[in-house]
Chain A
Amino acid sequence: MPRLPHSLLQLASKKSPLLPLVLRGTRDLPSAINELRWLTEHVTATNPPCPRFARKRLLYLCKRRSRAEPLQYILGSQPFGELDIKCRPGVLIPRPETEAYTSHLAKLLINGELDEQFSLSSEEPVPPFPKAEWRGRSVEGKLRILDVCSGSGCISLLLHSLLSKSGRFPHIKTVGLDISPKAIALANENLFLAIQNKHIPSLHFQSQDVQLARALHPSSSPPAHLRGHKLLKFLASQKRKTEEKTQKLQLSGSNQPIHFAQHNIFSSLPKWAGDVDIIISNPPYISCSAFYTSTSRSVRKYEPRLALVPDRNDYGVDASNRISRFISRDGEESDIFYKRLLWLYKRGEASVLVMEVGGQEQALRVVGLALKKKQVAGRNRVEIWRDEPGVEAQDGEEQFVSVEGRVVPVRGAGKMRSVVLFRVSEMVDRKKEGVGEKKAKNGKGKVWNKELECWEEKNKESCWDVKRRKDQEKRRSRRQKKKARRRGEGIVGNASQ
């Protein structure tokens, strides 16, 4: 880390005696000035009892900042789009790049540019889900989103609030998964905050209000001579506390539009995890060596390593693990999450997969991984988004890269920040057919078959029906031939004996 020049420190101390302290944290004068202003605003906004105390507190905060503690941890929050996300040590701070691609995805969905991805699946039979409320498709405004490595919950919350505010998607269900219990707790707090600030509609908001009103004003008013009695007051406060508790419990319950759950995605996932419409993820992607060379001091010292560096040992990825079979040992260790995400995407029926990546090299590696899998390569449109996906590319930034003999468009301006896969409509058709047949063969897709039959009854004259009948006939004839052959063999065997 280069030293700060004396002239700069002098310049800073002329402006404010606290500025050199902040400058030590930021290493940059304009942003130091801004941060000092925000710190001062924070101290005055929290209403200190006296000006002397306020000065002391400001000095304390500036000293913390001089040790490169992130401003977001000091102030306890970070604006993310229209939301304000709480931040706490132990959970990754939301980044502006994440905000950019999340809001871009929301914009695409709201403008209907991804409609073909979803509308096609609606014409097909609806596969059943373990959870009843997940039934139904996006065309009726239903959308299921899976946020892998949710952290502070910023992506889920922003996407949910933008989509629900647009009014195009009245029924959105979002699930966030993270390995860290701290992150899950914080995400739930953020959800509560967002609902309070009316960014996210709450399913139970009305009943909550009613309950709260009931708790505050007990319906049966006590007799006049007992009014103001201490015991009654105590009882009322107890009641209020329990009400608040139940309210919080309700929030974390699965009835809520957003549900955050602690889960290691390298352990076995529930079946429904693949059956979503959108998978979005900001996984740890910094390699071990890059962690010591290219990360900034505040990130290295204060932010959780678990959220930054994918370590096989941290996530229990080793040879003994059943899931590790899917993740080959070769390749960079920093890419293990992408392999898992691609596997999840391939297995399930999500139509969009958004993955944040660390830069150009990693983006190309991830695209390569995706294109290596034939099932993914043939049926998907692959794009790379830069830091600002909605902006036109600047000079000197190429708009296409070729990976594995395929030209991949690069959108926006800045550094390559995310890899996006869209399932192409015709391909979905073929894939589903394939999956259906496979399941039928394995005998596992009983429910699926039932659904299929129902659907076939409804439209008997469809071409699929004809095809299916032909297939059955073929299979039957094959079976008969086999039987005949076996019989023949048996006869031969008997004869030889």
Chain B
Amino acid sequence: MFGSPWICRRCINTYLKPGKRRLLRFSSTISHGSFSPALLARARSMASEHDRLSKETSETFDAKVSRRIGELKSVAAALKEWEDTRNSLSELNTLLNDPTTDSELRELAIEDLATTASELDTLSRNLATSLTPKHPFEDLPCLLEIRPGVGGGEAGLFAGDLLRMYRAYCSRKNMRASLLKFETEDGGSDASGDSPLQEAILEIDVPGAYGKLRSEAGVHRVQRVPATENKGRTHTSAVAVLVLPSLPTSGTEGQEVWEADLKDPNSDYYVNPTDVRTDVMRARGAGGQHVNTTDSAVRLTHIPTNTVVSMQDSRSQHQNRERAWQLLRSKLAQARREAREEEVARLRRGVIGVAKMGRGDKVRTYNYGQQRVTDHRSGLSVHNLDDVMEGGDELDKIIDSVKTWLGEREIEGLLAEDETTAAANVTK
């Protein structure tokens, strides 16, 4: 009677619904081997600048120029190696394609081709990393902050596990780590005990720690049967990890920069005095000798951004004015910095697409049921959860993979910036 055999409803649903798709990764760790022309052009221009500068400084010495040369040196060297290898590869190819080559030579060439191709792969990766700009805070020590997210007590417990993991990792890597703040939910502040964690800040006081650990920032997801669960269900909770560079608080150098910045129109701290309207409390009535007022309030309004700062702490109007200017400068500088960062982030997000770097999305999953750790950015899965949680080599592997992934994203971002500037130049 029926044209088709009976199938249970569940099977039909799974068959028809497009909801469950195979996991597709849109980002990959495989480098492309060949470069986009824009990036290559960038590398070439940097190399040529290096040559020019080194030729110039052969007679005279300038500290600034030599520092720039040091920056460009790695790019120039990497580009040279890469080009050599590529030339040899193309030579081998022509040798293979040439019908006149004898068989013995051909075999040798085929052998060489395989090694050269793999070499080219690593060299191109090297070139890419040398091209990526160094993060400005790379060399600084860092603060690692762990806070439980959704998931209640289980999230707090897992936050404690993560803290233990990072401490173990740091001790294995010989990085001095000290606990700045440790708060559990029941108010205890000692690191022992099993009560859920509320907030912990780990200070890693080693130069370069920020560069090593900055890829850890994000939401870490855990899937496991928690200790508090009595029915054996798997829970999914999240823990947020924040990594902040710990900037040096004192230092005369910073002060000098501040002083110099005030006069430089390109700096963040520069405010054009004509853009600012100053309002002073004026005496009511006739003013002058008729009244004696103690009003010393000063209000500054930055007209283009409509930023208002008012100050009335001191009896001296002069002092109030100075303080108000200082406040206005720092406010505007912060706004400008944020706007710039937002602009860069927008540009990069447009390129990177699905992969977001903010803490809005999870970056890593710890699945206890499958004994698996997956990083969603690099796409690397590791099936040795215990080693990871002890801060072992497996964690190292994950962190390295994320770092290479970050480097690639940055290169993409650079490319996009180059293209947009090129487009802007064309339209001009």
Contacts and interface: CB of A to CB of B under 8 A. Distances in A.
Interface of A: 26, 31, 34-35, 38, 70-72, 78-79, 81-82, 84, 92-93, 95-97, 99, 282, 284-286, 290, 294-296, 298-299, 303, 307-308, 356-359, 387-388, 391, 414-415, 417
B288 A359 contact: yes
A31 B316 CA distance: 14
Nearest to A391: B278
B291 A38 contact: no
B34 interface: no
A296 B288 contact: no
B295 interface: yes
Given A387-B287, A391-B278, A414-B282, A296 B317 contact: no
Given A79-B315, A296-B285, A387-B282, A72 B294 contact: yes
Given A81-B318, A388-B280, A72 B292 contact: yes
B21 interface: no
A258 B314 CA distance: 28
Contacts of B291: 295-296, 299
Contact of B315 (A38, A97, A285, A414): A38
A295 B290 contact: yes
Interface in B118-142: none
Nearest to A70: B292
A95 B288 contact: yes
A79 B292 contact: no
B312 interface: yes
B36 interface: no
B295 A290 contact: no
Given A31-B293, A387-B282, 18 more contacts: A34-B312, A71-B294, A72-B292, A79-B296, A79-B314, A79-B315, A92-B289, A96-B283, A96-B293, A282-B289, A290-B286, A290-B290, A294-B290, A295-B289, A299-B290, A307-B289, A358-B288, A414-B287
Contacts of A414: 282, 287
A31 B294 CA distance: 8
Contacts of B280: 96, 388
Q: Which of A70, A79, A307, A388 has the most CB atoms of chain B within a 10 A radius of its CB?
A: A79
B315 A415 contact: no
A210 to B, nearest CB: 33
A303 B283 CA distance: 17
9 contacts: A26-B294, A286-B290, A295-B289, A296-B285, A358-B289, A358-B290, A359-B287, A415-B282, A415-B288
A99 B288 contact: no
B319 interface: yes
Most interface-central of B278, B280, B293 (chain A CB within 10 A): B293
Given A38-B315, A79-B316, A81-B318, A296 B294 contact: no
Nearest to A35: B294
A79 B318 contact: yes
A-B CB proximity, top 5 nearest: A79-B316, A296-B291, A295-B290, A294-B286, A71-B294
Interface hub of B287, B292, B315, B319 (most chain A Cβ within 10 A): B292
A330 B305 CA distance: 55
Given A34-B312, A79-B316, A79-B318, A303 B292 contact: yes
Contacts of B314: 79
B292 A296 contact: yes
Interface of B: 278, 280, 282-283, 285-296, 312, 314-319
A81 B287 CA distance: 18
B288 A356 contact: yes
Nearest to A295: B290
B286 A31 contact: no
A417 B288 contact: yes
Nearest to B312: A34
Contacts of A84: 316
Given A97-B287, A414-B282, A415-B287, A82 B292 contact: no
A105 to B, nearest CB: 16
Query: Of residues B293, B294, B295, B319, which shows the largest number of chain A Cβ atoms within 10 Å of its Cβ?
Result: B294
A82 B295 contact: no
A199 to B, nearest CB: 12
B292 to A, nearest CB: 5
A93 B282 contact: no
Contacts of B312: 34
Contacts of B294: 26, 31, 34-35, 38, 71-72
A95 B292 contact: yes
A163 to B, nearest CB: 16
A27 to B, nearest CB: 10
Contact of B289 (A79, A81, A299): A299
Contacts of B278: 391
A417 B317 CA distance: 18
Given A34-B312, A79-B318, A298 B288 contact: no
Contacts of B316: 79, 84
A96 B286 contact: no
A285 B289 contact: yes
A283 B316 CA distance: 24
A356 to B, nearest CB: 7
A22 to B, nearest CB: 11
Nearest to A33: B312
A388 B280 CA distance: 9
Given A70-B292, A95-B292, A358 B286 contact: yes
A298 B294 CA distance: 12
A99 B320 CA distance: 14
A38 B290 CA distance: 23
Contacts of A356: 288-289
B317 A96 contact: yes
Contacts of B317: 79, 96, 99
Contacts of A295: 286, 289-291
A38 B319 CA distance: 15
Contacts of A92: 289
A38 B313 CA distance: 9
A110 to B, nearest CB: 16
Contacts of A284: 289
A70 B294 CA distance: 9
Given A38-B315, A79-B317, A391-B278, A294 B285 contact: yes
Contacts of A71: 294
Contacts of B315: 38, 78-79
B292 A417 contact: no
A366 to B, nearest CB: 13
Contacts of B293: 31, 95-96
